[in-house]
Structure 1
Amino acid sequence: MPFDFSALRRFPDVEAPNLQAWDATDELLVRWALESGIPGEQIAVIGDEYGAITLALADAGLTGIRVHQDLVTGRRALANNTVALGLAYRITDAGEPVRRVEPGHAAHAEAHPGSDTAFTAHELDPTLLQGARLVLLQLPKALAELEEIADAVARWAMPDVTLIAGGRVKHMTLAQNEVLARSFGSVQPQRAERKSRLIRASEPLAVPEEPPFPASRTHDGLTLCAFGGAFAGARLDIGTRVLLDAVRRLSLPVLEPRVVDLGCGTGALAAAFALTHPHAIVTATDRSASAVRSARATMRANGLEGRVDVTLDDAGSELPEGGFDLILLNPPFHLGASVHEGAGRRLIQAAARLTRPGGEVWTVFNSHLDHRRALTRDVGVTEQSVRTPKFTVTRSIRRG
């Protein structure tokens, strides 16, 4: 019986009629893997947004698949979909004990690997790729992220590894082939099917002694570090720069303000605030593992390691409600390749939940977006602080 992709959900990520949890690329990647005959324990899956590839392979009887997802929302969606399907899996977060979820249960429990384990979840590290002979990849948006992944596969997987990368044709470019060719001797685009295309990369090349990431760059005394999947890389994007100028001048009537950089990216706002407000208690959080790794590297580069707590989380879901004096927010307006305000609205709602009554939310956003209305509704009185031709910075006071 064919796997029912339509049964998969995106939850806890944004769900809408025009957003689904799989596409034709997932199906093509699954078909390639099943036709290859390679056992599950020699397969690694990267960029499986909500688990469509991993769970279809598990449904076909493969076990021991290794999977890496950058976004914690994707990881939670995969866990939810896995439990709904009644499969067992393990999570191997860096620095955390191996944990296993039994069929039908969402609670974590200690366990050892077993032959009935459908998949194990990993970070982008050697444990994901060592022994892998087939790597399935949903192509990322950023070329830097693709470069980091290709280097990792060539560096840690088996010498005879084949990387099958796929995407929607409208989002694919020749530059992606060029990036893959830096790490593989053979790069062969396949014929498009159902508006998706696969690229077969094999014959991994010798890699440099050190991985290419993180990259770093200094901006007016602030050093930013970035792994491949971090938005804007080590550059200071225009919106962050506009809010950063306001943050550096910000004064709060609290001796030790509790501050959150919500959706922190490379940690620019958190680092700048901590440097200019040495008594502040600062938390930086993002749903992207690449962003979190980048922000931690940024804190080390600026002498802030141990002073700024950097966490991987979805919209601050694990932070205390009403526990903070100030939220700094530069919300995204894309969900994957789709322009959608849902991700930004989720962060605005999270900011409202995290801020104490009388606390402040400082937000920067593209001026054409209707975020000011959402901030007024969800947080409280909102006023414009700065406006440039492209961006608006607002200050919102949390209503009691």
Structure 2
Amino acid sequence: MSEFPYERLRRFPDVEAPELQAHDATDLLLVERCLAHVADHDLTGSDIAVIGDGYGAITLALVDAGLRGIRLHQDLATGRRALVRNAEELGMLRTLDADGASAGVGPGLTASSAGDGAPFVPHELDAALLTGVRLVLLQLPKALAELAEIADAVARWAADDVVLIAGGRVKHMTLAQNEILARSFARVQPQRAERKSRLIVAEDPRDVPEAPPFPVRETHPEFGVTLAAHGGAFAGARIDVGTRVLLDVLTDRRSQLLMDGPGDAREGADSADCGRSDGQICGVVNEIVIDLGCGTGVLAAVYALTHPDARVIATDRSAAAVASARATMAANGVADRVQVTHDDAGSDLPDASADVVLLNPPFHLGTSVHTAAATRLFDAAARLLRSGGELWTVYNSSLAYKGELTRRVGRTEQVHRTPKFTVTRSIRSER
């Protein structure tokens, strides 16, 4: 077997930069340990599940080693698209099966469309991913709650003799991760560090509670909303401080998203629609509102509850966030009025289709601090907004995004500022 060309892997369409790589030493350790385990236990590809493979380094290296039918779960839409692109670049989706039929699949690869000859089969974090699996490879997630949900899922659905091999960079690992794994497995054995990475081997799954522990739910009476959260959703079922600041601003302005004064309609709106006594947004009837990077969906849910005539779309690149947002909409009785999509920066939504975009952008890419995560969403908002549409953004005050928003979206005003967070309103420039 030739050495796998890790250096050919790309992160695209995710952010790319010299300091951001598409693989790390943990990927290599997991692949090496997997191949040794396969040889010792006579496993096939369908006996293996890979969770958290960022851009395909683990899965595609195993395919290169001759394994087929590997089950796969990736949280991020960008990671899913990058893996397919990398597989295509390496020629792994253009192979022929024994009957000469194409075993290849394209960017729309799903568990139902992959077919028996596919090199890998994507799944959500569910029973189909794990039922009967005997080996699970896991890139350790940053959030302990996400690790807890994954560990419970493996113990709940995988084979009784399943072995979970989890790995991470030593600088990001904690003893708490061992403790979380020990809740679901009777034997948890950290391995010696290699190349600044470490593996943890968990075996002998414990009995699990009858109902899965996620999503968790919490009611926030100050905003009249109940949040549901899977383990990988940012802030869990809490409302993070930045989102709370934005919600406070929108509530103080009677949820109208207006410039000061009841007579100031959004630019380009019909002034006859302004000043409605029912508290609806001024200027646009049946408006389209996008919660971009929605997380658990709190902004979308509150907006739908307070603006029953609006069409609300909540979108996020995280599958855990999307599952959480859908559960949040159901918990608040607005599932029929809020569309939740798993997408990369709203790329599947049409240009100039939104009247309002709500945004609390991240400033982390995994474990790296990188402002490109926010600027990609600013560009997405500019594409999605119609001329005169509004982008409402909350961000860490130290990041001083106002100038960037003006350049990428249009005229931007500071609406509110605290020592930690700033809320701005940007008006989409004429196209």
TM tier, smaller: over 0.9
Q: How do 1:1-400 and structure 2 match up within 5 A?
A: 1-37=2-38, 38-88=43-93, 102-103=103-104, 113-114=115-116, 116-220=117-221, 221-248=224-251, 249-251=254-256, 252-400=282-430
* CA-CA distance at 1:41 after TM superposition: 1.2
Distance change in 2, residues 1:107/1:178 (3 Å)? closer
Aligned-partner Cα distance in 2 for 1:294–1:118: 30
- The amino acid that maps onto 1:323 is S
The question of whether the paired residues in 2 share the 8 Å contact of 1:87 and 1:104 is answered with no
In structure 1, the gaps of 5 or more residues are: 90-99
Deviation at 1:371, TM superposition (A): 1.7
Query: How far apart are the structure 2 equivalents of 1:3 and 1:11?
Result: 19
Distance 2:163 2:126 in 1: 18
Equivalent pair of 1:138/1:167 in contact (CA under 8 Å): yes
Hey, what's the Cα distance between the residues in 1 that align with 2:105 and 2:142?
Answer: 34
Distance in structure 2 (CA, Å) of the matches to 1:225 and 1:170: 31
Measured after TM superposition, the shift of residue 106 of structure 1 is 5.1
Identity of aligned residues (%): 66
Listed one character per residue, the Cα deviations across residues 367-390 of structure 1 (whole Å, up to 9, x for unaligned) are 011321111001100000010110
CA deviation string 1:204-241 (max 9, x = no partner): 00000000000010112210100000000000000000
Does the residue aligned with 1:269 lie in a helix, a strand or coil? helix
Distance 1:258 1:74, change over 3 A: same
Matched to 1:113, the amino acid is G
8 A Cα contact 1:283 1:310, kept in partner: yes
- 1:351 is aligned with what amino acid? A
Rounded Cα–Cα distance in structure 2 between residues aligned with 1:232 and 1:209: 26
What TM-score, normalized by structure 2, do the two folds share?
Answer: 0.88
One-letter amino acid matched to 2:392: W
Runs (5+) with no aligned partner, structure 2 = 95-100, 257-281
Structure 1 runs of 4+ aligned residues shifted over 3 Å read 100-112
Quote the RMSD (CA, aligned, Å). Answer: 1.7
- TM-score with structure 1 setting the length: 0.95
Residue 68 of structure 2 aligns with an amino acid whose one-letter code is T
CA contact (8 A) 2:352 2:384 kept: yes
Give CA deviations for 1:272-309 in whole Å, capped at 9, x if unaligned: 11111111110000000100010011011111011111
* Distance of 2:21 and 2:122 partners within structure 1: 22
* Shift of residue 113, structure 1, vs aligned partner: 2.6
Report the Cα distance in structure 2 between the residues aligned to 1:233 and 1:215, rounded to whole angstroms: 8
The structure with the largest strand share of the pair is 1
**1:164-184, CA deviations, whole angstroms, 9 ceiling, x for partnerless residues?**
000000000000000000000
Cα displacement (A) at 1:87: 1.5
The answer as to whether partners of 2:114 and 2:121 remain within 8 angstroms in 1 is no
Return closer, same or farther for 1:370/1:108 CA change in 2, 3 Å cut-off. Answer: same
Contact preservation (8 Å) 1:274, 1:308: yes
**Equivalent position SS for 1:120:** strand
Q: Contact conserved, 2:84 with 2:106, CA < 8 A, in 1?
A: no
The 1-side partners of 2:32 and 2:402 are apart by: 46
- The 1:70–1:106 alpha-carbon spacing in structure 2 relative to 1, beyond 3 Å, is closer
1:111, CA displacement in angstroms?
A: 5.3
Query: Residues 102, 396 of structure 1: CA spacing in aligned structure 2 closer, same or farther, 3 A cutoff?
Result: farther
Larger CA Rg, structure 1 vs 2: 2
**1:112 Cα deviation (Å)?**
6.5
C-alpha contact 2:356 2:391 (8 A) present in aligned 1: yes
DSSP 3-state at the match of 1:88: coil
Number of aligned pairs? 390
1:67 partner amino acid: L
Letter in 2 for 1:367: S
Q: Look up the equivalent residue of 1:289 and give its one-letter code.
A: A
Q: Say if 1:101 and 1:50 are closer, same or farther in 2 by CA, change over 3 A.
A: farther
Q: Secondary structure at the match of 1:182?
A: helix
